[in-house]
Chains A and B, each alone.
Chain A
Amino acid sequence: MKVTVTINGTAQTADIEPRKLLVDFIRTELGMTGTHIGCDTTSCGACTVLLDGTPIKSCTMFAASADGHEVQTVEGLKNGELHPLQVSFKQNHGLQCGFCTPGMMLVGKALLESNPSPTDDEVRWAISGNLCRCTGYTNIVKSIQAAGAAIEGN
Chain B
Amino acid sequence: MTTTHDPITTFEVGGVGHSVLRKEDDRFVQGAGNYVDDIVLKGMLHMAILRSPVAHARILGIDASEAEAMEGVVAVVTGAMLEGYNLAWMPTLSGDTQAVLATDKVRYQGQEVAAVIATDPYIAKDALGAIFVDYEELEAITTPQQSLTTETLIRDEKEGQTDNVAYTWEAGDAAITDAAFAAAHRVVSLESHYPRSHPSPLETCGCVSDVNPITGQVTIYLTSQAPHAHRTLFALVAGLPEEKIRIISPDIGGGFGNKVPIYPGYVVATAASLVIGKPVKWVESRSENIISTGFGRDYHMTGSLALDENNRITGMRAAILSDQGAFFADAQPTKFKAGLFHICTGSYDFGAAHVTAKGAFTNKAPGGVAYRCSFRVTEASYLIERLADKAAHEIGMDPAEFRELNFIKKEQFPYHSPTGFVYDSGDYHGAMTLAKEMIDYDGWREKQRDQDPNGKLIGIGIASFTEVVGAGPSKDYDIVGLKMFDSAELRVHPTGKAILKLGVKSQGQGHETTFAQIVAEELGIAANDIKVIEGDTDNTPYGLGTYASRSTPVGGAATAMVARKLREKARKLAAHLLEASEDDLEWEVGKFSVKGSPESFVTIQDIAFAAYTNHPEGMEAGLEGVHYYDPPNMTYPFGTYIVVVEVDQDDGTWEVVDMVAVDDCGVRINPMIVDGQITGGLTEGFAKANMQWISFDDAGNCIGSNFMDYLVPTAWETPRFKLGETVTPSPHHPIGAKGVGESATVGSPAAYVNAVVDALWSRGVTNIDMPVLPHRVWGALNGVDVKP
List residues of chain A with CB under 8 Å of any chain B CB: 17, 19-20, 24, 27-28, 31-41, 43-44, 46, 73-75, 77-78, 82, 85-86, 89-91, 93, 95-102, 105, 120, 123-125, 127-141
Give the nearest-CB partner of B251 in chain A.
Answer: A98
Within the complex, what minimum Cβ distance (angstroms) separates B471 from chain A? 22
Provide the residues of chain A in CB contact with B676, threshold 8 Å.
93, 96, 134-136, 139
Say yes or no: B683 contacts A137, CB within 8 Å: yes
Provide the residues of chain B in CB contact with A44, threshold 8 Å.
202, 286, 707
Say yes or no: A97 contacts B253, CB within 8 Å: yes
B715 contacts partner chain A, Cβ-Cβ < 8 Å: yes
Say yes or no: A133 contacts B715, CB within 8 Å: no
A36-B29 contact, Cβ under 8 Å, with A97-B203, A136-B721? no
Q: Which of B386-394, B506-514, B616-624 contacts A (4 or more CB under 8 A)?
A: B506-514
Provide the residues of chain B in CB contact with A128, threshold 8 Å.
714-716
The CA-CA distance from A138 to B253 in the complex, in Å, is 19
Say yes or no: A135 contacts B256, CB within 8 Å: no
8 Å CB contact of A99 from B35, B679, B715, B721: B35
Say yes or no: B715 contacts A137, CB within 8 Å: yes
B575 contacts partner chain A, Cβ-Cβ < 8 Å: no
Provide the residues of chain B in CB contact with A95, threshold 8 Å.
25, 28-29
The CA-CA distance from A130 to B252 in the complex, in Å, is 18
Interface flags, B283-308, vs A, CB<8A=1, else 0: 00111000000000000000000000
Within the complex, what minimum Cβ distance (angstroms) separates A91 from chain B? 7
Would you mind naming 17 contact pairs between A and B with Cβ atoms under 8 Å apart?
Answer: A32-B31, A37-B37, A38-B203, A82-B30, A93-B21, A98-B29, A99-B201, A99-B508, A120-B720, A127-B714, A128-B714, A131-B712, A134-B680, A135-B676, A135-B680, A136-B718, A137-B683
A136-B683 contact, Cβ under 8 Å, with A31-B40, A38-B204, A128-B714? yes
B708 contacts partner chain A, Cβ-Cβ < 8 Å: yes
B26 contacts partner chain A, Cβ-Cβ < 8 Å: yes
The CA-CA distance from A131 to B718 in the complex, in Å, is 11
Say yes or no: A127 contacts B37, CB within 8 Å: no
Say yes or no: B254 contacts A134, CB within 8 Å: yes
8 Å CB contact of A105 from B29, B121, B708, B712: B29
B32 contacts partner chain A, Cβ-Cβ < 8 Å: yes
Say yes or no: B679 contacts A97, CB within 8 Å: no
The CA-CA distance from A91 to B672 in the complex, in Å, is 10
Interface residues of B in 101-128 (CB under 8 A from A): 121-122
A-B pairs with lowest CB-CB distance, top 3: A34-B31, A97-B508, A98-B28
Say yes or no: A43 contacts B708, CB within 8 Å: yes
Say yes or no: B29 contacts A96, CB within 8 Å: no
The CA-CA distance from A73 to B26 in the complex, in Å, is 16
Say yes or no: A136 contacts B680, CB within 8 Å: yes
B24 contacts partner chain A, Cβ-Cβ < 8 Å: yes
B608 contacts partner chain A, Cβ-Cβ < 8 Å: no
Say yes or no: A40 contacts B31, CB within 8 Å: no
Say yes or no: B202 contacts A74, CB within 8 Å: no
Interface residues of B in 714-773 (CB under 8 A from A): 714-716, 718, 720-721
B38 contacts partner chain A, Cβ-Cβ < 8 Å: yes
Provide the residues of chain B in CB contact with A40, threshold 8 Å.
285-287, 706
The CA-CA distance from A102 to B708 in the complex, in Å, is 22
Interface residues of B in 641-694 (CB under 8 A from A): 672-673, 675-676, 679-684
A98-B253 contact, Cβ under 8 Å, with A32-B31, A44-B286, A136-B721? yes
Say yes or no: A96 contacts B37, CB within 8 Å: no
Provide the residues of chain A in CB contact with B716, threshold 8 Å.
124-125, 128
B779 contacts partner chain A, Cβ-Cβ < 8 Å: no
B464 contacts partner chain A, Cβ-Cβ < 8 Å: no
8 Å CB contact of A132 from B25, B202, B672: B202
A98-B33 contact, Cβ under 8 Å, with A19-B122, A137-B718? yes
8 Å CB contact of A93 from B31, B38, B672: B672
Say yes or no: B29 contacts A89, CB within 8 Å: yes
The count of residues in chain B whose C-beta lies closer than 8 Å to any C-beta of chain A is 56
Give the nearest-CB partner of A21 in chain B.
Answer: B122
A138-B202 contact, Cβ under 8 Å, with A33-B31, A43-B706, A96-B510? no
The CA-CA distance from A43 to B708 in the complex, in Å, is 7
Within the complex, what minimum Cβ distance (angstroms) separates B654 from chain A? 19
The CA-CA distance from A78 to B720 in the complex, in Å, is 31
Say yes or no: A41 contacts B24, CB within 8 Å: no
B200 contacts partner chain A, Cβ-Cβ < 8 Å: yes
Say yes or no: A90 contacts B203, CB within 8 Å: no
8 Å CB contact of A34 from B30, B673, B684: B30
Say yes or no: B720 contacts A138, CB within 8 Å: yes
The CA-CA distance from A115 to B473 in the complex, in Å, is 54
Within the complex, what minimum Cβ distance (angstroms) separates B578 from chain A? 41
B445 contacts partner chain A, Cβ-Cβ < 8 Å: no
Within the complex, what minimum Cβ distance (angstroms) separates A147 from chain B? 11
B497 contacts partner chain A, Cβ-Cβ < 8 Å: no
Give the nearest-CB partner of A135 in chain B.
Answer: B680
Say yes or no: B202 contacts A100, CB within 8 Å: yes
The CA-CA distance from A77 to B673 in the complex, in Å, is 25
Most chain A CB inside 10 Å of its own CB: which residue of B34, B253, B673, B708: B253
Say yes or no: A134 contacts B718, CB within 8 Å: no
A97-B202 contact, Cβ under 8 Å, with A31-B40, A36-B253? yes
8 Å CB contact of A39 from B27, B28, B29, B707: B707
B22 contacts partner chain A, Cβ-Cβ < 8 Å: yes
Say yes or no: A36 contacts B35, CB within 8 Å: yes
The CA-CA distance from A128 to B715 in the complex, in Å, is 6
Provide the residues of chain B in CB contact with A73, threshold 8 Å.
31
Provide the residues of chain A in CB contact with B38, threshold 8 Å.
27, 33
Say yes or no: B203 contacts A99, CB within 8 Å: yes
Within the complex, what minimum Cβ distance (angstroms) separates A131 from chain B? 6
Interface flags, B15-49, vs A, CB<8A=1, else 0: 00000011011111111111101101000000000
Provide the residues of chain A in CB contact with B718, threshold 8 Å.
124, 136-137
Within the complex, what minimum Cβ distance (angstroms) separates B771 from chain A? 17
Provide the residues of chain A in CB contact with B509, threshold 8 Å.
96
Within the complex, what minimum Cβ distance (angstroms) separates B35 from chain A? 7
Say yes or no: A133 contacts B682, CB within 8 Å: no
The CA-CA distance from A38 to B251 in the complex, in Å, is 15
Within the complex, what minimum Cβ distance (angstroms) separates B283 from chain A? 8
Contacts beyond the supplied A40-B285, A136-B718: 9 A-B pairs with Cβ under 8 Å: A34-B31, A77-B31, A89-B25, A96-B509, A133-B256, A137-B683, A137-B715, A138-B720, A139-B679
Provide the residues of chain B in CB contact with A137, threshold 8 Å.
683, 714-715, 718
Say yes or no: B286 contacts A38, CB within 8 Å: yes
The CA-CA distance from A117 to B253 in the complex, in Å, is 30
